[in-house]
């Protein structure tokens, strides 16, 4: 008789055969098409909601990201001796001392000088004095006679009223905006504190954030690195290198106006510093009209000194220093920079000086990637890139690439 062990073995074999496989042993499959589409819609919806929530702070976040990238070398040097939170705190303190304090003390002076400019533009005595000087000026009379020979009418009072209206409008615009800044000191201080808080955490977690962005991006790592490096480099060039040159021109312009006795030197120096961001035109938009006005008033020496100062400063900064330190890194045509700055200021206000060239630079970088990686591959090979491993079609395996290579060679020839 068979033993009990043999009987139990015979009984257990069918039971084992009928047992369904455990979930852990089943093959792992990816999401189907419906799941993929649903997740894509859900992900895009959550991204849009996140953008909606952060939209009130988008300019602040971009500026914080730029500042964090610019001051990252300072943070890394401090990190060698102190903890990450202390290094970030010291870096934010440096940003506060460099940016906030000078700007805070500058707002009061700009407001008072803008008010003086507005009052002087409304002064009828100043208008009559300017009109009298223009009537008795030999150069103006010659211009009037020359234009009359060609049938052109030069009405001096109308031109004076136009110039006065422009001066009044400019003075009122500057005064209203500077007064708004001064009146919103608490709001500005609160936004600056938020900016410093964002910069503080970005300095500590910048590497993790960049890694997260790279993992989300479907682009290759080399292209992601190129875009991020280009973004940081352009921001550094615009804010640091070009910004320092603009501050230098504004300070020197204000000192020059104070030296020759021009009223409101701080205001005009500030305007020169802002206009210095604009290539080609720049500080000439202030100094050349100032020289003409001084010449009309009969201050020939001051007018010649203003022209000489403009030529020296323009040649030194715009033709020697900026091409050496800015042009080689910006890699952008001067006309394109000019249009980017004006367009950026039209869309984003004063920060458009930064955002405009950044947008153009990112577009040029993407265009370069397209021409090198995608356009050339699509023309020569008919595909954007090689197929991923395991996706080659069996029917195409074993076919030689020699005819295709010869065809490509004939196309190039």
> What pLDDT was estimated at residue 270?
84
Q: Rounded to an integer, what distance in angstroms lies between the CA atom of residue 143 and that of residue 330? A: 43
Neighbours of 90 (CB within 10 A): 14
> What pLDDT was estimated at residue 413?
43
DSSP string, 149-164: HTT----HHHHHHHHH
Average pLDDT, the chain: 73
Q: Rounded to an integer, what distance in angstroms lies between the CA atom of residue 214 and that of residue 373? A: 18
pLDDT in tens, 368-405: 888 888 775 554 444 444 444 443 443 333 333 444 44
Q: Are 306 and 290 in contact (CB under 8 A)?
A: yes
Residues of the chain with pLDDT below 70 are: 1-30, 105-186, 188, 326-331, 376-413
Which phi and psi angles does 333 have, rounded to 5°?
Answer: -65, 145
* DSSP, res 27: P
Q: Rounded to an integer, what distance in angstroms lies between the CA atom of residue 330 and that of residue 233? A: 8
Residue whose C-alpha is closest to residue 284's, from 319, 259, 258, 260 = 319
> What pLDDT was estimated at residue 328?
61
Q: Are 97 and 71 in contact (CB under 8 A)?
A: no
pTM for the full predicted model: 0.61
CA atoms within 13 A on the CB side of 159: 11
3-state secondary structure of 104: helix
> What pLDDT was estimated at residue 169?
61
Q: Which two tokens stand for residue 111?
A: 């407001």
Q: Rounded to an integer, what distance in angstroms lies between the CA atom of residue 189 and that of residue 307? A: 40
């Amino acid at each position: 008789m068979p033993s009990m062990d043999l009987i139990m073995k015979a009984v257990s074999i069918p039971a084992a055969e009928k047992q369904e496989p455990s979930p852990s042993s089943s093959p792992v499959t990816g999401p189907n098409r419906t799941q993929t589409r649903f997740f894509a819609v859900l992900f895009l919806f959550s991204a849009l909601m996140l953008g909606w929530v952060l939209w009130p702070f988008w300019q602040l976040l971009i500026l914080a990201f730029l500042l964090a990238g610019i001051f990252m070398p300072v943070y890394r040097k401090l990190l060698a001796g102190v903890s990450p939170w202390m290094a970030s705190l010291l870096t934010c303190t440096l940003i506060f001392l460099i940016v906030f304090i000078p700007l805070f003390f500058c707002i009061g002076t700009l407001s008072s000088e803008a008010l003086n400019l507005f009052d002087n533009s409304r002064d009828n005595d100043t208008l009559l004095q300017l009109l009298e000087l223009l009537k008795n000026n030999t150069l103006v009379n010659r211009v009037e006679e020359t234009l009359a020979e060609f049938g052109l009418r030069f009405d001096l009072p109308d031109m004076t009223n136009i110039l006065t209206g422009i001066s009044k409008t400019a003075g009122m615009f500057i005064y209203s905006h500077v007064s708004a800044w001064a009146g919103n000191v608490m709001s500005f201080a609160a936004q600056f504190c938020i900016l410093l808080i964002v910069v503080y955490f970005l300095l500590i977690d910048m590497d993790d954030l960049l890694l997260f962005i790279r993992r989300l991006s479907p682009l290759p790592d080399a292209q992601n690195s190129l875009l991020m490096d280009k973004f940081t480099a352009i921001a550094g060039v615009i804010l640091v290198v070009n910004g320092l040159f603009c501050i230098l021109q504004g300070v020197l312009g204000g000192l020059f106006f104070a030296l020759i006795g021009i009223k409101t030197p701080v205001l005009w120096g500030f305007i020169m510093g802002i206009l210095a961001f604009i290539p080609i035109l720049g500080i000439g938009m202030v100094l050349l009209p100032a020289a003409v006005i001084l010449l009309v008033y009969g201050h020939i020496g001051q007018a010649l000194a203003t022209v000489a100062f403009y030529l020296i400063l323009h040649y030194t900064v715009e033709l020697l220093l900026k091409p050496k330190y800015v042009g080689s890194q910006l890699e952008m045509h001067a006309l394109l920079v000019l249009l980017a700055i004006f367009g950026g200021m039209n869309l984003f206000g004063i920060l458009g000086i930064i955002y405009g060239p950044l947008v153009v630079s990112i577009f040029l970088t993407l265009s370069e990637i397209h021409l090198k990686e995608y356009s050339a591959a699509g023309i020569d090979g008919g595909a954007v890139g090689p197929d991923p491993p395991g996706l080659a079609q069996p029917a195409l395996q074993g076919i030689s690439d020699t005819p295709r290579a010869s065809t490509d060679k004939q196309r190039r020839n």
